[in-house]
Amino acid sequence: MSDPFFHPVSGFELPRFAGVPTFMRLPHVALDDPRLKDVRIGLIGTPWDGGTTNRPGPRHGPRQLRDMSTMIRAQNGATGVRPFELVNCADLGDVGPNPASVDDSLVRMTAFYDRVVAAGIRPLSAGGDHLCTLPILRSLAKEQPLGMIHFDSHTDLYKSYFGGMLYTHGTPFRRAVEEGLLDPKRVVQIGIRGTAYDNEDRDFADSVGIRVIPIEEFHKRGVEDVMVEAREIAGSGDTYVSYDIDFVDPAFAPGTGTPEVGGPNSFQALEVARLLKGVTIVGADLVEVSPPFDASGGTAFLGVSIMFEMLCNMALSCVQDQA
C-alpha cells in the first residue's frame, strides 16, 4: 500500500465537479516540495504548441485534460490494477514555456524534466503539441538511447519544414534519432496514415531501421497481434511511449490539430495502451489534444482515459523494477 497522501480524492468524499482540478485528483507536489522525493510517477502538463504548423490549440490541452480527469477513478475496470496503491503518484504542475520562442521553450522544458529525472521520477506528460516530446527525451536519454512505442497517424520524422525550420511537431523524432536519444531499431510507429507530402519520412525510417505499421496493416492484423510485435521491438530495455491523440479516428477524437480519417475507434485506443503491459516504461506522454476543436470535451476525456491505461502499466513497471 502506497502513502495515503498520494491517493486521489474520492468522488464519495468530494463531488467530481468540486475542488481544484489536478490530474486524476492527485495531490499537487511542486518541484521544490519536500515530498517530491517520495513521488515515483509524476503527471506533468506541457502547455505549449509553438511547433504546430496548422491548427493551434494544444497549449490549452493540459488544463482541459486535468478538468476531464476528475472522472478517473482509482481502479482499472478491465484489469483490476489500482495504480495509486502500487506507487506514489502526484501532479507536478506545468512546465512554464515561452510562447514567443521555440528555442527557449525547448530549453525550459528540458530543464524542468532534468529536475524530474534527477528526483528519480518517471514522467507521464500531457501536451501540448508533439514537439514537446523532444525535450522530455533529452532529459530521459542522457545516459543511453531509449526504445519507443509511438501511436500516431503521422511519423513526425520529417527533416524540416518551411525551408529549413528543424523544430516543429512534424520533426521531433527525426531530431531524437539524430541526437542519439532513440535507438531506431527499438522504435515502432503504429497507425500511420493519410495523404503525404512525399516519401521522405518513410525513407528515413527505412534507412535507420524504424518499424512503421501503417493503419491498413493495423486493421488487417488486429490490435493484439500488432502489440505483440510492438513489445518485441521494444524488448526489455528502457522504453518511452508517445501517444498522439490523432492516432484515434476523428469520429471519436475530433479535438486535435491534424486529424486523419480511417483510424482506430475509442475502444481500440484504450486497448493498445492496455497491451503495453510488460514494457519497461520510463516515461510516456499524451499529446495534441486541442480544446478549441473539442466542444464536447470528449477528446480530452478519451485522452485522460488513455493516460490512465498508460499509468497503470507504468506503475506495474515500477513495481517490477523494484522487485
pLDDT digits (tens, 9 = 90+) for 114-173: 999 999 999 999 999 999 999 999 999 999 999 999 999 999 999 999 888 999 999 999
d(CA 263, CA 215): 7
Instruction: For residue 128, say if its preceding peptide bond is cis, omega within 30 degrees of 0.
Output: yes
The pTM for the full model equals 0.97
- Interval 272-307: pLDDT, tens: 999 999 999 999 999 999 999 998 999 999 999 999
Residue at grid coordinates 520510463: 282
The CA angle 108-259-314, to the nearest 5 degrees, is 55
d(CA 1, CA 86): 6
Q: What is the mean pLDDT of the chain?
A: 96
State the burial class of residue 236 (Cβ atoms within 10 Å of its Cβ: 0-12, 13-18, 19+). exposed
* Per-residue cell: 281: 516504461
- Mark 256-266 as b/e (b = at least 16 C-beta within 10 Å): bbbbbeebbeb
* Per-residue cell: 155: 511519423
* Other residues' Cβ atoms within 10 Å of the Cβ of residue 241: 25
Largest CA distance in the chain: 55
- Interval 4-13: pLDDT, tens: 999 999 999 9
d(CA 25, CA 109): 24
